């Protein structure tokens, strides 16, 4: 079992969370990274690691009350709204300082044809008239595209939870991907439209560049809003500075 003396609990699973854990370890801070366990073979950060949920806000509050870390940094995915909400409630209950490390979303460039939607269901509606749809929204929620009349090319790290329609092509792959590889993939499968979430970051941004080069539209799902009143930074460096101040 990881030590109960961790000074910082990092809610992780992202590249930023791994970089933060590495920076904290390098500075001699005892850090425990918590991963939700939704990926079968996750890339593990430096330091101690805990895999599995806490049992909602109440479970996390109980853990914080028992282990008493000096601070919690929520560095989960921008779409992990439930985990972020649980962290906010648990931190407030226990009086634990909480920071949200929230990487910026993507910004459109000249030549981009981006079409914004608020949900995966709306994304499925937006691509109903296209032939081949490249779905890169992660394995959770892929079921929203089950009724899309065109062909779906689905890429995820692990197999999706719902059973995919018979005509779906599934690619199991983990980024980062190069622009050249993304262009070749889209040409090979004759992709007509790309669907993704506004995850931000550089690891999966190449698909947007490839779509721009090929003149393909991209349907982007907007991020869920952050809870009000949460201290938020955009970079690992700022998160490290916040931890130092604690």
Residue 240 pLDDT exceeds 50: yes
CATH of the domain at 175: 3.40.50.2000
Residue 221 pLDDT exceeds 80: yes
Whether residues 131 and 99 fall in one domain: no
pLDDT score for 36: 85
Residue 29, in any domain of the structure: yes
pLDDT category, 5, cuts 50, 70, 90?
low
Residue 173 pLDDT exceeds 50: yes
Which domain range does residue 62 map to? 8-104+225-245
Each residue's pLDDT tens digit, 75-93:
999 999 999 999 999 999 9
pLDDT category, 40, cuts 50, 70, 90?
low
Residue 1, in any domain of the structure: no
Q: What rounded mean pLDDT belongs to the chain? A: 92
Each residue's pLDDT tens digit, 134-166:
999 988 888 899 888 889 999 998 888 776 777
pLDDT category, 1, cuts 50, 70, 90?
very low
Total-model pTM:
0.89
Residue 51, in any domain of the structure: yes
pLDDT score for 2: 44
CATH of the domain at 75: 3.40.50.720
- Written in H, E and C, the secondary structure of the chain is CCCCCCCEEEECCCHHHHHHHHHHHHCCCCEEEEECCCCCCCCCCCCEEEECCCCHHHHHHHHHHHHCCCEEEECCCCCCHHHHHHHHHHHHHHCCCEEEECCCCCCCCCCCCEEEECCHHHHHHHCCCCCEEEEECCCCCHHHHCCCCCEEEEEECCCCCCCCCCCCEEEECCCCCCHHHHHHHHHHCCCCEEEEECCCCCCCCHHHHHHHHHCCCEEEECCCCCCCCCEEECCHHHHHHHHHHC
């Amino acid at each position: 079992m990881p030590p109960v003396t961790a000074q910082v609990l990092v809610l992780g699973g992202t590249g930023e969370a791994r970089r933060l854990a590495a920076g904290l370890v390098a500075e001699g801070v005892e850090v425990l990274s918590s991963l939700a366990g939704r990926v079968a073979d996750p890339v593990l950060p430096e330091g101690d690691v805990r895999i599995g949920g806490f049992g909602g806000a109440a479970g996390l509050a109980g853990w914080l009350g028992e282990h008493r870390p000096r601070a919690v940094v929520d560095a989960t995915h921008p779409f992990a709204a439930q985990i972020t909400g649980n962290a906010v409630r648990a931190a407030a209950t226990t009086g634990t300082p909480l920071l949200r490390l929230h990487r910026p979303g993507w910004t459109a460039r000249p030549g981009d044809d981006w079409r914004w939607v608020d949900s995966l269901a709306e994304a499925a509606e937006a691509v109903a008239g296209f032939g081949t749809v490249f779905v890169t929204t992660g394995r959770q929620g892929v079921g929203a595209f089950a009724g899309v009349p065109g062909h779906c090319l689905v890429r995820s790290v692990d197999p999706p939870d719902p059973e995919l329609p018979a005509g779906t092509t599934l690619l199991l792959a983990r980024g980062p991907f190069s622009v050249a590889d993304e262009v070749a993939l889209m040409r090979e499968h004759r992709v007509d439209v790309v669907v993704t979430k506004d995850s931000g970051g550089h690891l999966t941004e190449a698909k947007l560049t490839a779509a721009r080069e090929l003149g393909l539209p991209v349907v982007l799902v907007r991020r869920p809003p952050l809870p009000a009143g949460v201290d938020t930074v955009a970079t690992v460096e700022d998160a490290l500075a916040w931890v130092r101040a604690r």
